[in-house]
Amino acid sequence: MRPISQEAIEEACYEIMKKAAVDIPEDYLAGIKRSAEREKEALSGFVIKTMVKNYETATAERRPMCADTGLPRYFIKVGDDARFEGGFTGMERSIRSATARATQDVPMRPNRVHPLWRTDYNNNVGINAPEVEWSFEPDAGWIDITTVHKGGLFGTDYRMLFPGDGLGGIRRFLLDTLIAFGKRGLACQPAIIGIGIGGSKDTCMQLGKQAACLRIVGDRNPDPKIAELELELMEASNSIGMGPMGFVGSSMAVDLHIEVGFTHTGGMPVSVHTFCLSSRRATARIHADGHIEYRTDPKWFTPYYRREGIAWEGARLDQERQHA
Amino acid sequence: MLEKIDIDLPASPESLAKLEPGSIVYLNGVVYTAREGVYDRVLNRKENLPVPIHEVTNANFHCSPAASSNADGSYRIGAVTATASFRFSKYMGDWLDATKTRVVIGKGGMPAEDYKNILAPRGAVYLTTVGYGTGALLGQGVRKVLSVHWLEELGIAQAMWMFEVCGFGPFLVDSDLEGNSLFAEQGKLVNRNIEQAYKGLRKPALLRYGETDDRKDELI
Ligand code: SF4
């Protein structure tokens, strides 16, 4: 079979940029509608219903749902068997070019500036931007490209907790973060909340960010005890008594996802992230034959990605071979 | 609460007097955008305003639109969303004096004392956008870009845009002419419940510098 062409890759990147900016993912929309039904406070209810109207207008008029079109970034999963033109750097070039074109065409806000000199090329491309995170998948010939347009200067925090702080410590830190950024609605809640637990400081942040941005509303962690904790902490978030814009209400979280990574024996680092009212993500799967399918579920956290089990499959197979 | 009011711009003192915290407002007329870039040019660097704003409108929107230019030199506005206003409160007094602005629109409001001390004494109200991500709804209310100033110097996000708007909203009144604040009122009500949420939760083993343990404090 011919390798996947660079045009197909660039087309996929460009299309998901447009889709993400304009169309709210259906899982989040359904979640927000449930929040609207549950919310008993008039002001908070008004805010949520206005948001639903906003999503409908965005889709009908092909306008970005929010003028803060966030920081576009990419998550790519390449199947072991995928063959494509241009190599990995070619794919990154396509991403940069699609980002610049979509910024002009949608239009999106050129949010990316140099952190010190505030230089702006008006195309959301620059030094180390957009970020591209790579992952791989065994036994697959496709390439999945996901874009996330994460907005918000507010709603994220990290803290080194210790094993003795326990689950109560995590709950307390979550409440701290939600209250700090929930006042006046700086986090643009109700949000999909992502919590990263463990890893090193940077992986802890990354896991939390991915938990918020790359898992859909309704998805549960495969570990039943963590799944239970997700529901428990979501309940705690919605029981603060705060709703959208920091008004009295019971809608902080549309869902809450936890991802964990093995960590230093002495510590329990925790990060909290909120994926705002404009929870924008879109995924393209480029199949081995070049045809492209679009969806809103990134399907990022595969069993392989989580590295479940105590050794990788390859090691097990090696062992089996030796024993055979 | 939750009463809908249409206001024509420039807003008259009478029309502003009808507003109370929590009223829902839609605007018709012209609004201009200005944030730190513009404030800095006019107030710190003493540059002249590019247009005599007060002749056209008295509504300042803290906003950066998602805009791009067409080949013919006109502009396309996709979505319009406010940006957090508390960062601009230090400019507000001088700015209202310089431009006769009476309607400040933004995201999330400003500290309640600023309403009492700066906005209300000058006859100005504060409106907040809803949500806040209602970019498409607000974008729909922008009928035309009348002009844009300092685009080159400040970039799309910081430039001064003049929008002709119709049915532009919804906004919620945060501060009325007396300086009452919806956010402050709601914040107080939320605070009553907060201790309950922390019941039984111990302080972490390691504290951090600069922490307030009073969750009733605002952090802005
Ligand atoms: S946090 Fe999200 S909804 Fe709020 S302004 Fe930013 S992008 Fe828009």
**Tokens linked to B72:** 């013919």
pLDDT value, residue B68: 79
Torsion B23-B24-B26-B27 (CA) sign: positive
Least CB–CB distance from A63: residue in B2, B83, B136: B136
Going by C-beta distance under 8 Å and a sequence separation of 6 or more, which residues neighbour residue A79?
A136, A137, A138, A139, A140, A141, A142, A143
CB spacing of B190 vs A185 below 8 angstroms: no
Contacts of A248 (CB under 8 A, 6+ apart): A41, A43, A44, A241, A242, B186, B189, B190
- Yes or no, beta carbons of A172 and B156 under 8 Å apart: no
Measure A306 CA to ligand 1 centroid, in angstroms.
29
- Residues 258-317 on A with a CB inside 8 Å of B are 276-278
3-state secondary structure of B146: strand
Q: Which residues contact B19 (CB under 8 A, 6 or more apart)?
A: B5, B25, B125, B173, B176, B177
Q: What is the ipTM of this complex?
A: 0.89
Coil, helix or strand at residue B189: helix
Q: Which residues contact B170 (CB under 8 A, 6 or more apart)?
A: A50, B4, B24, B25, B26, B130, B134, B137
Q: Confirm whether B182 is domain-assigned.
A: yes
Separation of alpha carbons A28 and A282, rounded Å = 12
Q: Is B133 domain-assigned?
A: yes
Task: Give the range among A83-87, A315-319, B104-108 with minimum mean pLDDT.
Answer: A315-319
pLDDT band at B217 (very low <50, low <70, confident <90, very high): confident
Give residue B38's domain range: 4-197
Tally the domains of chain B: 1
Most ligand 1 atoms within 8 A of CB, residue of A277, A279, A280, A281 to mutate: A277
Per-residue pLDDT of A117-173, as tens digits, reads: 988 898 999 999 999 999 999 999 999 999 999 987 888 999 999 999 999 999 999
Position B211 in a domain: no
What's the CATH code of the domain at B69? 3.20.130.10
A267 three-class SS:
coil
Residue B20 lies in a domain: yes
Contact flag A67-B139 (C-beta cutoff 8 Å): yes
pTM of the model: 0.91
Please tell me the predicted confidence (pLDDT) of residue B78: 83
Specify if B203 maps to a domain: no
Within a domain: residue B217? no
B1 neighbors A45 (Cβ within 8 angstroms): no
In a domain, B148, yes or no: yes
Could you tell me if residue B88 is inside a domain?
Answer: yes
